[in-house]
């Protein structure tokens, strides 16, 4: 049996000042052919999960191409998106020249490009045209996907992460492959049913460890015992996509013959979610006051999330707000933070390790939201910046943040990076000699993904009230294209869930 596997992963943030470009899809971010399988060995990624199923079932995986943006950003530039998509599709066409039994597509689901509000659906739709209506195709997605009618129509099944923080990439790969395998052997005739809710929710309170999403997933587990119900995903869409089909959704993959039952399950889960939507509101901690409290505390480390500047959500990672607050507080104990600023990195490398420098730091993307601040300190360390993810989720995956230098100003240690990167893992600091458990304050630029790795040792965790394109304060953002009415912007008391 031959199954083609391809992957195109990027998360788009409509309000980001930075478009997705070739900078985000450098040589490390695009891997072709066999390299895609080789690099997955020993990791906890979807592709590794797919390989595990393939090896059990005598499946020959035909690797196409894996593209994964180094960080989230605004929508991808049209020529970049079309170029990657077309190469992926050309490889699929080539693979389909010999009989192909199925296709697994590892996607994110909140990817847009110039001219393509739903780039995931566009890619899947074109893949469907190549393989024809009868070859099963399953797509795996991030829990923050924005599900569209086009995606549901193009794929036989959509399978999303069931965890946030995301720690089940591998298991999602297993689920996707098993569904595909069942479809290929004719045991399953899957259809994908969706209920779209007229709401978008902040990422900070959409975790799966507790609260409404956790309870919805618990409830859905019971339905998976029913015959002909193959998979259920809950998608609290990442809220910064200003697109016409935006909204949270519930997806049930079921046998064609059980479509009505699948619709009823999806509507029931969506109804419960709707009733409990107020639970998604976020309480933010005032930045200066929280830093003062942390510095006065007998316990450490306090992990403070500047989620408004989270690169995983599409922010540039160059905010100076928390950095300035830390420096102003003149902490008597070590505090760690990080910022994207390629020019400052170049200056520090030029000056060399051990030298005293004064430089302008931050606001490097040219976004109007922040201003650079002048910092004087000592260059403590220079690194190529690469580190390997050790936490669950992306375990084993190398993160490339470009050249990286550590600047120490008093007790504030600033990791200055050429490129924005995922901030879920303490390796961001450990890889440059900073041990988070030794610090009084550790700043992470992430809404919740960091909790999996940081919660076990954090003395306290707070989400700071800071400005940024990824603020959880959604009503402060300039949406113009999402459907209205939409919660939390409009009163919507009479909405009823229907598939």
Nearer to Zn ion, 404 or 446 (CB): 446
> Toward Zn ion, which CB reaches closer, 161 or 274?
161
Compare residues 207 and 364 and give the one whose CB is closer to Zn ion: 207
Which DSSP string do the residues of 278-314 spell out, in sequence order? GGG--PPEEHHHHHHHHHH-SS--EEEE-GGG-GGGT
Cβ 236 to Zn ion shortest distance, Å: 9
> What is the residue-wise DSSP string for 89-151?
HHHHHHHTTS---EEEEEE-S---BTTBS-HHHHHHHHHHHHH-SSS-EEEEE-TT----HHH
Taking the least distance from each CB to Zn ion, the nearer of 9 and 40 is: 9
d(CA 130, CA 34): 21
CB of 345 to Zn ion, least distance (A): 28
Least Å distance between CB 73 and Zn ion?
Answer: 15
Contact 108, 24 (CB under 8 A): no
**Under 8 Å between Cβ of 5 and 307:** no
Distance between CA atoms of 216 and 260, rounded to whole angstroms? 20
Q: What is the closest distance, in whole angstroms, from the C-beta atom of residue 110 to Zn ion in the complex? A: 8
Minimum distance from residue 37 beta carbon to Zn ion (Å): 24
Q: CA 307 to CA 449: how far, in whole Å?
A: 10
Task: Considering the complex, state which of residue 118 and residue 142 has its C-beta at the smaller distance from Zn ion.
Answer: 142
Residue 285: other Cβ atoms inside 10 A: 18
Report the distance separating Cα 85 and Cα 77, nearest Å: 12
Q: Strand pairing partners for 374?
A: 360
Q: Where does this chain bind Zn ion (CB under 5 A)?
A: 142, 144
Q: Which CB atom, from 142 or from 156, has the smaller least distance to Zn ion?
A: 142
**CB of 5: closest distance to Zn ion in angstroms?**
21
Joined together, the tokens standing for residue 265 give 């399950």
Q: Which is nearer to Zn ion, 294 or 422 (by Cβ)?
A: 422
Task: Tell me which residue has its CB nearest to Zn ion.
Answer: 144
CA angle 366, 367, 372 (to 5 degrees): 65
What six digits make up the tokens of 316?
């540039």
**Whole-angstrom distance, CA of residue 36 vs CA of residue 30:** 9
- Residue 66: strand pairing partners: 7, 31
Tell the smallest beta-carbon distance from residue 292 to Zn ion (Å). Answer: 32
Distance (Å, rounded) from C-alpha 431 to C-alpha 285? 29
As measured in angstroms, the least distance from the Cβ of 14 to Zn ion is: 16
Closer to Zn ion by Cβ: residue 205 or 290: 205
């Amino acid at each position: 049996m031959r199954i083609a596997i391809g992957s195109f992963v990027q998360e788009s943030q409509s309000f980001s000042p930075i478009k997705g470009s070739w900078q985000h899809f450098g040589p490390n971010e695009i891997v072709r052919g066999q390299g895609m399988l080789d690099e997955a060995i020993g990791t906890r990624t979807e592709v590794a999960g797919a390989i595990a199923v393939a090896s059990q079932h005598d499946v020959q995986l035909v690797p196409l191409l894996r593209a994964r943006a180094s960080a989230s950003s605004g929508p991808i530039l049209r020529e970049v998106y079309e170029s990657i998509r077309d190469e992926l599709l050309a490889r699929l066409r080539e693979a389909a020249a010999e009989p192909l039994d199925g296709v697994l597509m590892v996607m994110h689901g909140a990817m847009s490009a110039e001219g393509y509000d739903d780039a995931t659906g566009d890619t899947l739709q074109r893949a469907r045209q190549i393989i024809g209506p009868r070859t099963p195709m399953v797509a795996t997605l991030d829990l923050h996907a924005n599900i569209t009618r086009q995606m549901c129509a193009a794929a036989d099944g959509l399978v999303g992460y069931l965890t946030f923080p995301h720690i089940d990439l591998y298991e999602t790969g297993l689920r996707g492959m098993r569904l595909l395998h069942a479809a290929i052997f004719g045991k399953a005739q899957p259809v994908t049913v969706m209920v779209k809710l007229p709401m978008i929710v902040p990422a900070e309170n959409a975790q799966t460890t507790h609260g409404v999403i956790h309870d919805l997933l618990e409830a859905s587990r019971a339905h998976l015992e029913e015959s002909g119900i193959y998979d259920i995903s809950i998608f609290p869409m990442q809220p910064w996509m200003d697109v016409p089909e935006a909204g949270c959704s519930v997806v049930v993959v079921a046998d064609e013959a059980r479509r009505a039952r699948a619709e009823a399950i999806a509507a029931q889960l969506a109804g419960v979610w709707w009733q409990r939507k107020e639970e998604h509101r976020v309480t933010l901690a005032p930045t200066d006051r929280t830093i003062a409290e942390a510095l006065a505390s007998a316990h450490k480390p306090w992990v403070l999330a500047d989620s408004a500047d989270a690169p995983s959500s599409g922010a540039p990672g160059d905010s100076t707000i928390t950095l300035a607050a830390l420096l102003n507080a003149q902490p008597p104990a070590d505090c760690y933070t990080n910022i994207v600023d390629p020019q400052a990195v170049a200056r520090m490398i030029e000056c060399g390790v051990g030298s005293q420098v004064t430089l302008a730091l931050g606001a490097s993307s040219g976004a109007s939201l922040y201003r650079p601040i002048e910092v004087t300190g000592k260059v403590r360390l220079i690194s190529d910046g690469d580190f390997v993810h050790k936490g669950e989720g992306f375990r084993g995956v190398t993160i490339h943040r470009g050249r990286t230098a550590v600047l120490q100003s008093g007790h504030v240690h600033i990791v200055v990076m050429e490129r924005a990167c995922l901030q879920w893992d303490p390796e961001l600091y450990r890889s440059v000699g900073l041990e988070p458990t030794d610090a009084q304050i550790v700043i992470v630029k992430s809404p919740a993904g960091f909790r999996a790795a940081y919660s076990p040792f954090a003395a306290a965790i707070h989400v700071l009230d800071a400005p940024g394109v990824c603020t959880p304060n959604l009503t402060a953002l300039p949406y113009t294209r999402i459907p209205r009415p939409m919660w939390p912007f409009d009163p919507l008391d009479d909405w009823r869930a229907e598939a």
